[in-house]
Amino acid sequence: MPRPLVLCAVLLAACSSSAKYEPIPEPPPPQTAATLSGPLCQDKVCTCRGNDDAAPGVPEAGHKRYEFHLGPSDNDVWATVDDMVLYKSREHAEDCFYVDLLPGNHKVTVRARGDNGFGARLTISEQGAAGPWWYSTFEFVCGAPGLCDKETLEAWKKQITSYKEKHDPCGSTKVRGVEWQHGRMPDNIHPSDLLLELTLQIYKFVPDKPPGDENCSGSVPAVE
């Protein structure tokens, strides 16, 4: 029989105290299967841009380029974007991936698993047209480094309602429908499995202000 798992939906409010129980699906195969973009990517592997913001190149007309940064962590971590799979193995502390997306809605998931717990971190950044600028779109971290624990998950759940602290409203991307499930906690502290889901709603307009510009405040709602 499937293991009971806690489902927690975050929609601008703290989660309900009445938990639902659903089986968590298996993670994807341990490999990257995605169309990666830009000069930093080759053979399903990308080099992180570091201090050179221009290094990832420029997307094709009509597309927008995003950086998906997984880790650092000591375990396998997956992110999916639509039907693409981005995989960071335990042999790598962290990995970056650059993908081009069209305006519209794109489902994103994060998966992490470890026999004795896990650490999980994903940051998503949107490349701007000028500068080049990079806008902070989303960040999730639990453990990484170290192990994710129940207390950290609960704290993140409470903080998600003020997500503007991490989401840059000068960008053109809204984060919607954040939900997460975690597996059993054998020691009552560290879950053994995690599935986090969200949707990126990408707008057509091209951002024209630098990241963090105070004139952008409230232009794109952060989380729904």
Looking at residue 103, its pLDDT comes to: 96
* Tens-digit pLDDT profile for residues 110-138: 999 888 899 999 999 999 876 689 999 99
At residue 201, the pLDDT reads 92
- Separation CA 162–CA 80 (nearest Å): 25
- At residue 131, the pLDDT reads 67
Q: Which residue has the tokens 């879950």?
A: 191
Short-list 29, 35, 28, 123, CA closest to 71: 123
Give the pLDDT band (50/70/90) at residue 213. Answer: confident
Residue 21: the pLDDT is 41
Count CA atoms within 13 Å of residue 6 on its CB side: 18
Residue 223 confidence (pLDDT): 47
Does residue 27 have a cis peptide bond before it, meaning omega lies within 30 degrees of 0? no
CB atoms within 10 A of CB 103: 15
> Span 62-85, mean pLDDT?
95
**Alpha-carbon span 49 to 8, nearest angstrom:** 34
* Closest-CA residue to 22 (of 2, 1, 43): 2
pLDDT band at 162 (very low <50, low <70, confident <90, very high): low
Q: What is the pLDDT of residue 1?
A: 41
Residue 218: pLDDT band (50, 70, 90) is: low
How does residue 186 score in pLDDT terms, banded at 50, 70 and 90? confident
Residue 199: per-residue pLDDT? 93
What is the domain partition of the chain in residue ranges? 64-205
Query: Which amino acid appears at position 176 of this protein?
Result: R
The mean pLDDT value for 98-108 works out to 97
* Three-class DSSP labels, the chain: CCCCCEEEEECCCCCCCCCEECCCCCCCCCCCECCCCCCCEECCEECCCCCCCCCCCCCCCCCEEEEEEECCCCCCEEEEECCEEEEECCCCCCEEEEEEECCEEEEEEEEEECECECCEEEEEEEECCCCCCEEEEEEEEECCCCCCCHHHHHHHHHHHHHHHHCCCCCCCEEEEEEEEEECCCCCCCCCCEEEEEEEEEECCCCCCCCCCCHHHCCCCCCEC
8 A C-beta contact, residue 7 and residue 21: yes
Residue 71 has pLDDT above 90, yes or no: yes
